[in-house]
Amino acid sequence: MGLREYKRKRNFNVTTEPKGSEKKRARSARLRFVIQEHHATRLHFDFRLEMEGVLRSWAVPKGPSMNPSDKRLAMMVEDHPMEYGSFQGTIPEGNYGAGEVRIWDKGTYEALGDASPEAQVRKGKLEFVMHGKKLKGEFHLFRMRSSKEENAWLLIKIRDKYSDDDWELEQILPYGSRSEKPEGLTSKRVWISNRAQTSKSSTKTTTKSSASKTGSARAKLLAKSAAKRKASAGSSVGRPKTSRTTATAKKSKTKPRAKTGSR
């Protein structure tokens, strides 16, 4: 437990996530919690509970549930600094956890029983009551003994006056939203999507560079089609250069795709 792992994974010159320090704080009955909706490579919900000056953290792929029959996989991840509880924003591309982060719920919680939350976690089972806007009432988090993955836990809602059998999780951001692309990456991305799929919109701007990258086969093809056009057009000498570029672009848009299809 501690923030070493957290700090090791991040470059604080680039990300706006808090650098953080472990806070010494008198143990209070009510501790803070935050749940962040995190659109990283895969959408997940980061479930963080204050414990001994840091936020103990679990990544919950499907998000928490108020339905007692839902058992949510919760992968324990590195402790986060307390300041992370108010973080939301964009973790830049190329950095650990790149993507949008939004606070989904926050509030306080209290552990049930005599043992401290940290002691309960060490034993592999935490029983607690949440006082959030979305999450309320008793929850249990326990380590899955059957799993080979030692960080695999389950998060379940305990039936009480707050539990809801028809509950459905509401996201803050639409599914699949990612961080904004930094400049400079744009052309590379367009290039990749241009090749991999039948992207219609992105071709226009990249045709020139893609032609130069595809190597001799493509180049020959383009030269051939250009020659053909020249021959058939006859009087095309007077044509403005721009329209010719467009024609080439159209050609190169269809040709490689047809080739891919027949392979």
Binding footprint of Mn ion on the chain (CB under 5 A): 38, 46
CB of 101 to Mn ion, least distance (A): 7
CB of 75 or CB of 247, closer to Mn ion: 75
CA dihedral 77, 79, 83, 85 (to 10 degrees): 40
**Collapsed DSSP state (helix, strand, coil) of residue 40:** coil
CB of 75 to Mn ion, least distance (A): 10
d(CA 75, CA 60): 6
Which of 39, 139, 45 lies closest to 91, judged by CA?
Answer: 39
CB of 94 to Mn ion, least distance (A): 16
CB of 22 or CB of 78, closer to Mn ion: 78
CB of 225 to Mn ion, least distance (A): 49
d(CA 68, CA 203): 49
CB of 32 or CB of 38, closer to Mn ion: 38
User: Rounded to the nearest 5 degrees, what angle is found at the Cα of 95, between the Cα atoms of 184 and 104?
Assistant: 110
CB of 125 to Mn ion, least distance (A): 23
d(CA 258, CA 67): 50
Cβ of 134: how many Cβ atoms within 10 Å? Answer: 16
Position with the least CB separation from Mn ion: 38
CB of 46 or CB of 100, closer to Mn ion: 46
Which of 31, 72, 74 lies closest to 54, judged by CA?
Answer: 31
CB of 77 or CB of 129, closer to Mn ion: 77
What tokens does 19 get? 């650098």
Which of 162, 95, 161 lies closest to 133, judged by CA?
Answer: 162
CB of 151 to Mn ion, least distance (A): 14
CB of 78 to Mn ion, least distance (A): 10
* Bridge partners (DSSP) listed for residue 102: 37
CB of 38 or CB of 143, closer to Mn ion: 38
CB of 38 or CB of 136, closer to Mn ion: 38
d(CA 128, CA 109): 7
What tokens does 242 get? 């721009």
Handedness of CA 99, 59, 41, 35 (dihedral sign): negative
